[in-house]
Structure 1
Amino acid sequence: MLAKVVQTEKEMQDAFSIRMKVFVEEQKVPAEEEVDENEEMSVHVVLYDESMPVGTGRIREADGYGKLERICILPSYRGKGAGSLIMKELEIVAAPNIEKFKLNAQTQAIPFYEKLGYEVRSGVFMDAGIPHVTMIKSRL
């Protein structure tokens, strides 16, 4: 598997395709909430297995943090290291002056992010009808 920074329109469409399958079809997030005003100011990453897109995520600078968002993996690739590959690539492509990262994690994904060094920093809140917490990690 190879994580790649999006550079072409096809790669961007691959990212949106994964997000639609995971967030809209699987998790029932309203389609109009999935694409937002932060798309163009974010760096997007797509994970490929051969030429098939299997995961994606994005990062942007917000309030001094590298804010990771829209991280998702196709169900058949979960638990196989795909999410870690995306997270590593997102943290690498963050601006060199970014020293800390922030994300809003679905509560079921807290153990995954904790293994990557993130710590819960908020109580549970709802986003698109799904319980989330804010998590932060400082670059070592």
Structure 2
Amino acid sequence: MPKPLEIKVSKVNNPQTLETVFAIRREVFVVEQHCPPELEWEHEEESHHFLATVDGEPAGACRWRKTEQGYKLERFAVLKQYRGQGVAHVMVTTALNDLPADADYIYLNAQIDAMPLYAKSGFEKTGPQFEEAGIQHFKMVKK
């Protein structure tokens, strides 16, 4: 029986690790999903970034930031070879646990394929379907 994967998600606070986060996002969003690079790199300074590792290897990235509406979870990206192994779920849980105690309105813009992941963490679809960076999304709010 293979040993279980060790999935860790850590808050990023140094430039070298932040570059790893950006490299994962570049691979998933810009290369794989063809998102325009100029849309990918915004709000970096005010965001709280996270790096997921699997058995010590970089595997995923995400962030949250405070907006005028509340707290927004964003940029969830898992490298192709680590998908389907629970990495994204650990990232969502870690990001939610990192939010301030007064975070009463938490939301995200979910790609349609990722909606079941967020629903498992208590997010519900709200509003109409929309396009962002050429990909169909729904806004989801934490209940």
Equivalent AA in structure 2 for residue 16 of structure 1: F
Corresponding residue of 2:49: 44
Counterpart Cα distance in 2 of 1:33 and 1:64 = 20
Which runs of 5 or more residues in structure 1 are unaligned?
A: none
Matched, 1:23 2:38: no
The SS at the match of 1:20 is helix
Alignment of 1:73-88 (within 5 A): 73-88=78-93
Q: Please name the residue that 1:93 is paired with.
A: 98
* Contact 1:120 1:133 (C-alpha < 8 Å) held by counterparts: yes
Normalised by the length of structure 1, the TM-score is 0.93
User: Which residue among 116, 121, 125 is the counterpart of 1:116?
Assistant: 121
Identity %: 34
Give the TM-score normalised by the residue count of structure 2.
0.91
Please name the residue that 1:34 is paired with.
40
Q: Give 1:64 shift.
A: 4.6
CA distance in 1, matches of 2:20, 2:47: 15
Matched letter for residue 18 of structure 2: M
- The letter of the residue matching 1:71 is F
Contact 1:64 1:98 in 2 (8 A): no
SS at match of 1:123: strand
Give the whole-Å Cα distance in 2 for the aligned partners of 1:121 and 1:66.
16
1:60 equivalent among 59, 65, 73: 65
The root-mean-square deviation of aligned C-alpha atoms, in Å, is 1.1
Give the match's secondary structure for 2:128: coil
Return 5+ residue gaps in structure 2 as ranges. 1-6
Please state how far the C-alpha of 1:137 moved relative to its aligned partner.
Answer: 0.3
How many angstroms does 1:122 deviate by?
1.5
1:85 alignment partner AA = V
